[in-house]
Chains A and B, each alone.
Chain A
Amino acid sequence: AQSVTQLGSHVSVSEGALVLLRCNYSSSVPPYLFWYVQYPNQGLQLLLKYTSAATLVKGINGFEAEFKKSETSFHLTKPSAHMSDAAEYFCAVSAGGYNKLIFGAGTRLAVHP
């Protein structure tokens, strides 16, 4: 069975600071890993995904994530936060294809001036 743990339900950073959102996964088979973003009152938008190619994955809006098998982690980073990055971020895992995404509990990112 697959599962995802997101460390920290709320993260607050200053504008221009590094963003680091943590995600650890559990999977009995090689996983596919995803980060989605949800802005207020909207659906989920894919930021990036890992599908067993390069371990460092670049996504939209300047975000990237690194797959570390030894640590079972897929942390999301952005070098410099922008006010528009304030949203909820979800890490998700799927094994054996994209049929079933299992989501983490989400991390709400606040960006203050």
Chain B
Amino acid sequence: DAGVIQSPRHEVTEMGQEVTLRCKPISGHDYLFWYRQTMMRGLELLIYFNNNVPIDDSGMPEDRFSAKMPNASFSTLKIQPSEPRDSAVYFCASSFPPGQRNTIYFGEGSWLTVV
């Protein structure tokens, strides 16, 4: 069974360029999460969706960041324009609805470097 699939795995871009990170959640999961990991701030929840609808985007750092989920099997996180301080690992995760037996599954991350 395929896990959460993220692309690209690694990206190096110049400051000011647009960056789009992609995520395919596990089939059947109706919760999708975007996390960012940095040395300074650790793991931060940016936004999460339920049934393709954004539920909580309070972690999105600023207007340069946007996330969409056009259907149940695809989500994007876009940064426009990118800045060096956006360099981080971005994780996508998915799960079934909250409950005692459910687990949040993480993808392998997208390593972003903005120079």
Q: Are B42 and A98 in contact (CB under 8 A)?
A: no
Give, as a whole number of angstroms, the nearest-CB distance from A106 to chain B. 6
Interface residues on chain A, number (Cβ under 8 Å): 23
Q: Which residue of A lies closest to B96 (CB)?
A: A98
Q: CA A14 – CA B90 in complex, angstroms? A: 33
Q: Which residue of A lies closest to B100 (CB)?
A: A51
Q: Are B108 and A42 in contact (CB under 8 A)?
A: yes
Interface residues on chain B, number (Cβ under 8 Å): 23
Interface residues of B in 58-115 (CB under 8 A from A): 91, 93, 95, 98-100, 102-109
Q: Are A106 and B31 in contact (CB under 8 A)?
A: no
At the interface, is chain A mostly helix, strand, loop or mixed?
loop
Q: Are A99 and B55 in contact (CB under 8 A)?
A: yes
Q: Are A103 and B43 in contact (CB under 8 A)?
A: yes
Q: Which residue of B lies closest to A52 (CB)?
A: B100
Give, as a whole number of angstroms, the nearest-CB distance from B48 to chain A. 7
Q: CA A43 – CA B48 in complex, angstroms? A: 18
B18 interfacial by beta-carbon distance below 8 Å: no
Q: Are A99 and B102 in contact (CB under 8 A)?
A: no
**B42: contacting residue among A46, A49, A105, CB under 8 A:** A105
List B contacts of A51 (CB < 8 A).
Answer: 100
- A42-B108, A44-B43 known, 6 other contacts, Cβ within 8 Å: A96-B98, A98-B102, A100-B45, A102-B45, A103-B42, A104-B42
Residues of A with Cβ closer than 8 Å to B?
Answer: 36, 41-46, 49, 51-53, 90, 96-106
Residues of B with Cβ closer than 8 Å to A?
Answer: 4, 31, 33, 42-43, 45, 48, 55-56, 91, 93, 95, 98-100, 102-109
